[in-house]
Amino acid sequence: MASKPKKRAKADAARVAVPQSAGEANTFIDLIGQCQRQLAVLQTEQDEQIARIKANTARQAEPYLNEVRERTEGLRTWCEAHRVELTGAGRTKTVRFSAGEVSWRLRPPSVTIRGVEAVIEQIRDLRLFQFLRTRVEVDKEAMLREPDAVAAINGVTVGSAGEDFIVTPAEAPIADVAEPEPRAAE
């Protein structure tokens, strides 16, 4: 037995103002523009405040960062001079002290290539093809240019992502931004 759909209470329905004429629609666009400009002003003020806070914090942190760097370098120098006795002749990479520990870790290997084309040519000349990679991938941009040809391929669909409704208010200088009038409660 199919259940009846529940009736939505009036309170659940979204209540928005709807323009009743082209003139009112123009007023809506103007108010949207005013709000967007005010939001831009607020965002700029926020960004400036964040920049000031970051700069202030960086100034306050600088002496601590310098001390950490200097003491770490001094500790490293001492530990390197005593590494054999600290690590038991290399049996361990970590040394524990009552206040913490120090350790030595090897970084993972990395490959750096300068002059990629010349390196590829040398690899080909030396017939070391295991060091070359061939990549095959689908060209979606080409498919968008030829949607009729793509229709025959199973698993590929060319479609629209939908439609957006976009409001673009006329530009006004931010200096002229006045607080938009709040909507009256309905």
Q: pLDDT grade, residue 98 (50/70/90)? A: very high
pLDDT at 4: 59
Least confident of 32-36, 80-84, 164-168: 164-168
Would you list the domain boundaries of the chain? Answer: 22-102
Tokens of 23: 């003139």
CB proximity list for 129: less than 8 A, separation 6 or greater: 123
107-126: average pLDDT: 94
Least confident of 64-68, 84-88, 164-168: 164-168
Q: pLDDT grade, residue 15 (50/70/90)? A: confident
d(CA 34, CA 36) in angstroms, rounded, equals 5
pLDDT at 36: 95
